[in-house]
Structure 1
Amino acid sequence: MTQDAQKDSSTYWKKSRVELRAAGFDPDRTAKTTAVVTIASAWTNAHRCNNRVRGIADLLVELLAERGGQGLVVGAPAVSDALTQGTPTAGYSLVSRDVVADCFEIGHYAHHGDAMIVISGCDKTGAAALMPLARTNAFGLVLYPGTSSPGKVSFEPWAAKGTNLTIMDYAEGRAAQEAGRISAAELVELERNVMPGSGTCGAMFTANTMSTTAEAIGMMLPRGASHPADYDAASDIHADVRAQARASVEALYRLMEAGIRPRDIMTLRAFENAITTVYAMGGSTNMYLHLLAIARAAEVPLTIERIQEIGERVPLISNLQPHGPYAMTSLHAIGGVPVVMKELLRAGLLHGDVMTVTGRTLAENLAATPTLEEIGKQDIVRPVGQPVAPANNHISVLRGNIAPESCVLKLSGKTLEKGEFRGTARVFDSEADTMKAIRAGEIKPGTVIVVRNVGPVGGPGMPEMVMLTIQLQGRGLGEDVALITDGRFSGVSHGILIGHISPEAARGGPIAAVRDGDTIVIDPGQRTLNVDLSDAEIAKRMAEWRAPDPAGRLRPGSVHDKYVRLVSSAHYGCVV
């Protein structure tokens, strides 16, 4: 749709008097509407991540009415990874990203919207929030419903974190209790206190990675990526969310008046700012998949190689979970993502001249943000010259004879003391079988767990292997056992982890050739992942390979059936 067509589109809705009256609108008042605004909102009462979205959508309708606008609410499914991970339905999470984006695009055009405010939430809705804005180029911005407030407990090692406990602490505590490392009573204390209210997972996991991406790319107002969702489970939405909602409506009208659209903001330089900021904050490996998908929607020529080039020069300067002790709301309390971006801008790592949804440049937005020196003593954000970890110690793109396209290594600021990890392969063709082996105590130090046939096609839907990584951490194996997979990881995951191996096993990728007892070599310095086999031996094994039988996995006409026919590899962002 052309921009001229977009400009005129809402007249169709405003003039549909019979339809308007029947739907409960006043046709005379509606005819005077200043703007028809799509409120794209993936609400559900099923989980904490997006259960505040309905209230925010209603608030936006009220705020738009104050400006003479009309908010039209468009829905979409919201999948909580916290509820699907480790279950047979985990493969619906990544698939939902593109479905949500489609729903918002359809709703916007079908209801003749002039502009769009997208309410994000759990990680895939966070990625999907930016995609329809990029596709439609309708005036708009993103509003985050908020992250969960952290909790605290009285026993170690968690007591030392203070009020910074997140769902990661409970998950790892559960694994520790299974292994006999904490008591049942201590696990109950964790359960009752770790998460007082609603909101997305409370640290630098994928949801907050994507909220940070939206803010850093310029499509969300400053400090919008880090606010808490509420005060507790019984409270109303947080005052900071209300303030952001009002400010977002005002910003939307300024964007329309100035003629500033998403593609004026979502340039390659803006994507580079987002990559830099997310690396500096220790974001999730999922950002690779989502940045590539968003860039494709915006027709920006971003590649996995370019993400690596930008990311490898950025030190890790925020001390957030999973690599540090702090929750996202601790960052919010000292000023939020702008504090991180101010330090990066001062170090020459950001493009300050890019436009944002404030109608001002990034540098102009950050002009009044205090420096770290002005903030004073704190350990949540460190100077670029004194980082949590030096550059090139967070996420790296690797290649090798079992990942000829690419894969991603997540170290989260930790280093491999010997420069490489060399271990013995233990191969599994499902997450469930891997979990059984870990819980049975079969995984020993020096093992490289290989989980395959869990990619975008093999999964289907590329589920996250987070429950496996949590078990390894809970059992004290996080530094001595590596895990490689053609599946994904959650932002919660930390350890020696390689995901997104492409091509995946189900499409004949050479990870399918690996057998128990093979030696796997991970070399972060050389950025390689290899099995210690000759090319001839790999070719011989692959000649015997047969594609997995889809029977029982794919129901004809189902979402997954369509997905596996269309989806690209992780190397290209699993786009459809």
Structure 2
Amino acid sequence: MSFRKAEWPRKLRSHEWYGGSSRDHIYHRSWMKNQGLPADLFDGRPVIGICNTWSELTPCNAHLRDLAQRVKHGIYEAGGLPVEFPVFSTGESSLRPTAMMYRNLAAMEVEEALRANPLDGVVLLVGCDKTTPALLMGAASVDIPAIAVSGGPMLNGWFRGRRVGSGTALWQMSEEIKAGTMTGEEFLDAEQAMSRSPGSCNTMGTASTMASMAEALGMALSGNAAIPAVDSRRRVMAHLTGRRIVQMVKDDLKPSDILTREAFENAIRVNGAIGGSTNAVIHLLAIAGRAGVDLTLDDWDRLGRDVPTIVNLMPSGKYLMEEFFYAGGLPVVIKRLGEAGMLHRDALTASGESQWDEVKDAVNWNEEVILPVEKALTRQGGVAVLKGNLAPKGAVLKPSAASPHLLKHRGRAVVFEDIDDYKRKINDDALDIDETCIMVMKNCGPRGYPGMAEVGNMGLPPKVLKKGINDMIRISDARMSGTAYGTVLLHVSPEAAVGGPLAIVRDGDMIELDVEARRLHLDVPDDEIMQRLAAWKPPVAVPASGYARLFATHVEGADTGADFDFLKGSRGKAVPRDSH
């Protein structure tokens, strides 16, 4: 399947601003010319926005200025006029209370910037994990031709002969400190090896997962996801993306042509094959909501359940993104799914070609990194969606990062009312807990935290770690970093802060988990659950003003993507009324 070729030239959106001799047209052009732009750049050629999430406060994206220049080269070569503009950059490593709280804000800014400015198409420069969904959400809402290019992952970290995966090594080493198997001095030495080049997480964390999702959806060129940030081929990808967006404008190839039901089904299966982050669940649900595609948690479970995890990367496996790129990257994985009948081969991509045509010639150069199906990390990867009286609208778990012996378990609840309560109690040897217990944390969902922080992978108590135990079941309405691991149930919906059953779990309650049966059950009589819920009172007041109030008032649950209730569906590219 190839995309139709549109008639050209045709009237472009930017012509409403620049394409005439009226006072208003001269007004718009003359101001642009104070940047030294020649007059013939306004001769009707496409005006292409470069939506840049560069920020020195977002370390993953701090190198995007250089990539923006490469995109400009490609746009100029193809006959377009590039115009770069900044948007809010959501960096997970520093932003408080959590970058997730500001994903929707960034998406709103992108949407309004695209709609209000004289743009015929846009290149989305993304990197740190929330910037990718935010920009895709905004672009889907406006529906002008759009294509993403990622900043790329960091190079491998190395410490004393050991691979250091960004995030993953941090969680591992912090547990080793508590267990007494690593010294503080060693931890500080390891810090210097964790982030040794520009780029985003070098594990299959959320940044790498969402770069893969952009490619699997067809919203980025084939091969985009895995090229390291400092590799010259990342610059080539940016250059080629700049060329491609001009042709996309000429062909009027829009997000609505690419972000189809079939594209989302492909992405869900790819997520299972790569052992992708649980955060992808929330982000793809939100992007689908903007695109008008009816995607649900049940789709995630149904489509991903029988997909083997074949990418041997941390946190599920051994290697890092650098090796994934050398092995052939995401095209190899997509090809493998196509050969197994798990891919909608005709799904359209931003290249104008089908997904299958883009990957059919891909070669696996390292079967230790991209595994044969018979050596899969897990034969049923994907994301497991569990439901029951503790999670009526669902909770998610990543099987490839979980401990097999804990996938069916009954245990006593040890409850933390919120993240601060957890921090107060977890290191106390008097805490009544052992490895058979189930750790439960409340009030860390979209409204509860607020923003739904990555705190769901609660560190284990030191007295358990000192026994050599490195995993326990943990349940919360929070998220966890895609770099994290363990038998962790996340995104419990409805969340505690809005009165979901999680809110009334008490110390000593028995909880039953059965991943195969997709069941999460609070073993408390129904009438007692109802009595507890009737007595429950909201623990968090709605903020009085500002963005925090907007967020708390309008954010939806994790089970539908945690977007704002007033932002569903595309609102189109109508040209605003000229006020001059």
Tell me the amino acid that sits aligned with residue 367 of structure 2. Q
Q: Which residue of 2 aligns with 1:24?
A: 35
Q: 1:464 aligns with which of 447, 454, 458?
A: 454
Q: Deviations over 1:441-469 (max 9, x none)?
A: 43421121111111111111111115624
Q: Which residue of 2 aligns with 1:110?
A: 116
Bigger drift between 167-176 and 318-327 goes to 167-176
Unaligned runs of 5+ in 1: 231-237
The 1:246–1:471 alpha-carbon spacing in structure 2 relative to 1, beyond 3 Å, is farther
Tell me the amino acid that sits aligned with residue 294 of structure 1. I
Q: Which residue of 1 aligns with 2:369?
A: 380
Q: 1:329 aligns with which of 287, 302, 322?
A: 322
3-state secondary structure, aligned to 2:411: strand
Tell me the amino acid that sits aligned with residue 154 of structure 2. S
Unaligned runs of 5+ in 2: 1-5, 20-24, 565-580
Tell me the amino acid that sits aligned with residue 241 of structure 2. S
Question: Partners in 2 of 1:534 and 1:168 — Cα distance?
Answer: 39
> Is residue 400 of structure 1 aligned with residue 388 of structure 2?
yes
Question: Partners in 2 of 1:539 and 1:44 — Cα distance?
Answer: 48
Q: Deviations over 1:273-331 (max 9, x none)?
A: 11101111011111111111101111111111112110112111111110111111211
Q: Which residue of 2 aligns with 1:174?
A: 174
Q: 1:537 aligns with which of 511, 528, 537?
A: 528
Contact 1:343 1:383 survives alignment (8 Å): no
Q: Which residue of 1 aligns with 2:13?
A: 9
> Is residue 417 of structure 1 aligned with residue 408 of structure 2?
no
Superposed, 1:97-246 pairs within 5 Å as 97-154=103-160, 159=162, 161=163, 165-230=165-230, 238-246=231-239
Q: 1:524 aligns with which of 510, 515, 524?
A: 515
Aligned length: 547
Contact 2:165 2:314 survives alignment (8 Å): no
Contact 1:38 1:107 survives alignment (8 Å): no
Structure 1 position 14, deviation (Å): 2.5
Question: Partners in 2 of 1:25 and 1:436 — Cα distance?
Answer: 59
Contact 2:209 2:276 survives alignment (8 Å): yes
The 1:415–1:476 alpha-carbon spacing in structure 2 relative to 1, beyond 3 Å, is same
Q: Which residue of 2 aligns with 1:431?
A: 419
Q: Which residue of 2 aligns with 1:486?
A: 477
Tell me the amino acid that sits aligned with residue 151 of structure 1. G
> Is residue 453 of structure 1 aligned with residue 460 of structure 2?
no
Question: Partners in 1 of 2:262 and 2:459 — Cα distance?
Answer: 34
Structure 1 position 334, deviation (Å): 1.5
Of all paired residues, the percent bearing the same amino acid is 31
> Is residue 72 of structure 1 aligned with residue 83 of structure 2?
yes
Tell me the amino acid that sits aligned with residue 282 of structure 2. L
Structure 1 position 258, deviation (Å): 3.1
Question: Partners in 1 of 2:249 and 2:460 — Cα distance?
Answer: 46
Tell me the amino acid that sits aligned with residue 386 of structure 2. L
Question: Partners in 1 of 2:358 and 2:466 — Cα distance?
Answer: 45
Structure 1 vs Structure 2 CA RMSD: 2.3
Q: Which residue of 2 aligns with 1:352?
A: 345
* Higher RCO structure (Cα 8 Å, ≥6 apart): 2
Q: 1:365 aligns with which of 345, 358, 377?
A: 358
Tell me the amino acid that sits aligned with residue 144 of structure 1. S
Contact 1:37 1:117 survives alignment (8 Å): yes
3-state secondary structure, aligned to 1:439: coil
Q: Deviations over 1:317-353 (max 9, x none)?
A: 1111101111112111121100111111111111111
The 1:297–1:196 alpha-carbon spacing in structure 2 relative to 1, beyond 3 Å, is same
Q: Which residue of 1 aligns with 2:573?
A: none
Structure 1 position 385, deviation (Å): 3.3
The 1:504–1:167 alpha-carbon spacing in structure 2 relative to 1, beyond 3 Å, is closer
Question: Partners in 2 of 1:557 and 1:29 — Cα distance?
Answer: 48
TM-score by length of 1: 0.90
Question: Partners in 2 of 1:148 and 1:292 — Cα distance?
Answer: 27
> Is residue 82 of structure 1 aligned with residue 71 of structure 2?
no
Question: Partners in 1 of 2:424 and 2:181 — Cα distance?
Answer: 19
Q: Which residue of 1 aligns with 2:259?
A: 266
Bigger drift between 18-27 and 533-542 goes to 18-27
Question: Partners in 1 of 2:183 and 2:97 — Cα distance?
Answer: 29
Question: Partners in 1 of 2:520 and 2:288 — Cα distance?
Answer: 27
The 1:451–1:435 alpha-carbon spacing in structure 2 relative to 1, beyond 3 Å, is same
